[in-house]
Structures are given as C-alpha cells and as structure tokens.
Amino acid sequence: MTPASQGRAKGAALVAEVGPRLEKVFGRPGQRRHGSALDVLVGGVLSQNTSDVNSARAFDALMDRFGDYPAIADARASAIAAAIRSGGLARVKAPRLKRMLQDIRKRVPDMDLDGLLRGMSDEQARRHLTSIHGVGIKTASVVLLFAMKRPVFPVDTHVHRVSRRLGLIGPRVSREKAHAALEAIIPPGERHALHVNLIRHGRETCHARRPECPRCALEDVCPSAGTTG
C-alpha cells in the first residue's frame, strides 16, 4: 500500500468514526431540495457576510420586487441593491448578482439551469458552474448538493477548519483542494449528513477561537484537542 493510499484509508476510518458521533449529537439531517439551481446560486451571493435570517429576507424582497430572474438580469444594479438592502453589502452584491445572471442567460437563454445540469455528470456540472462569473468551487458544490441532490461535498470555512483539526486533511490543504481530498474519503451516501453536521459542530463547539474541547464529542479522536487557544 502506498503512503497516499494509507492516508486515504486512515482518513476513511476516521470519517466512519466521526460521522456517527456527530449524528448522536445533532441527528441525521434529511436531504431535501433547497430550491432551483438559480435559487441556490442567488442565495449564496446574498448569504455572504450576513446571517441566514437577513439573507432569506433579502432573497424574498428581491423576488417580490422583480418576480423572476430575467427581470433581475435586466434591472439596474442600483434597483437590485435597493431590494436587497436588508441583507447587507447591497452595493457589492447587486452588481455581482446582475453579472452572474447575465452570464447564465448568455449560456442558457431560457435560464433553465436545472435542465442543463441534469444532463451532466457531477464533475461536468461542477466545471460548468465554476465557469460562471463569480461562482467558485464551494458555491458550485452547494448548488449540486442542495439544489440537485448530487453526492458532492462542499467545503466552507467551518468544514475546512474542523477537517484540518481532526486530521481529515493536511494543515496546508486549501479550501479549494479540500473538496477533492475529502470526497476521496467520504462515501457518497454520507456526504450530505457529514457536511451539515460538520458545519453545526464548527458553529456550536469547534469555534475558530477558543474551541470547546472539553465538551466535544470528538475530543478523544481529535489530534488538535486542547492545543488551540
């Protein structure tokens, strides 16, 4: 067995330990669609640097004001910003939304992004999404997991931090490269549940600063336990 394959086997064994423990704490989340691919893409932009409550409020206001995505793509950035003001950073997010939607419409005139993605493999769909203006690998993976129910594994800041502390990925593995590294050791059927529960664990226990190691369900299998201030 090569060192690389040994590392993957060790990581897979740790995943098999971590997943059930987190489910004892948080339960096993059910997988459901969170709207269309466009809904999730737009929601991703609106969620940047704000709370879930504020981003949801901004999304509702956006759709109430314009009604559909072609209308948003045609609107002035200033009008979009006025609609999404409740989500914060409206002047930054509005031109991003407009350009992203215009880029999608050039590729898919009817803006049926779901229909286009259904005919693609996971990797083809991820490559297509990341070629859209303003869409990175994390956002593309979120769209595939939550809009298309594909077995991919998005890596956000919480998942990245907790995975590094647990040793599921190396300390120098970037968030971008962590997607492939973690998908190599997490079974497809476990990716949704583990993604959701790692985020909850990162928010509630394994904080960026002062993680609460003494009450952590993973303390005895975490090589970083007690070492992060």
- Considering only CA atoms, which of 207, 191, 153 is closest in space to residue 175? 153
d(C-alpha 29, C-alpha 46), whole Å = 24
- Considering only CA atoms, which of 19, 52, 13 is closest in space to residue 195? 19
For residues 180 and 141, state if they share a domain.
no
Report the 10 Å Cβ neighbour count for 212: 11
For residues 49 and 112, state if they share a domain.
yes
Spell out the alpha helix ranges (H) of the chain: 3-26, 37-46, 52-66, 69-74, 77-83, 90-107, 113-118, 122-130, 137-146, 157-166, 175-183, 191-204
Q: Within a domain: residue 137?
A: yes
For residues 159 and 100, state if they share a domain.
no
For residues 64 and 118, state if they share a domain.
yes
d(C-alpha 121, C-alpha 12), whole Å = 24
35: three-class secondary structure by DSSP: coil
Options 10, 98, 138, 177, the catalytic residue? 138
Quick check: is 138 catalytic? yes
Structural domain boundaries enclosing 105: 37-146
pTM, 2 dp: 0.93
* pLDDT confidence band for 5 (50 / 70 / 90): confident
Q: What percent of the chain has pLDDT over 90?
A: 89
Across the range 177-185, mean pLDDT stands at: 97
| Among candidate residues 98, 115, 146, the one where a domain is terminated | 146
For residues 172 and 78, state if they share a domain.
no
For residues 140 and 187, state if they share a domain.
no
| Among candidate residues 98, 124, 146, the one where a domain is terminated | 146
Q: Is the pLDDT of residue 202 over 70?
A: yes
> Residue 2: its pLDDT value, please?
83
* pLDDT confidence band for 49 (50 / 70 / 90): confident
Number of domains present in the structure of the chain: 2
Contact 100, 135 (CB under 8 A): yes
The alpha carbon dihedral of 62, 67, 70, 74 has a sign of negative
> pLDDT digits over 119-155, tens only?
999 999 999 999 999 899 999 999 999 999 999 999 9
Q: Is the pLDDT of residue 229 over 70?
A: no
For residues 17 and 113, state if they share a domain.
no
Across the range 51-80, mean pLDDT stands at: 95
For residues 41 and 142, state if they share a domain.
yes
The alpha carbon dihedral of 168, 9, 176, 80 has a sign of negative
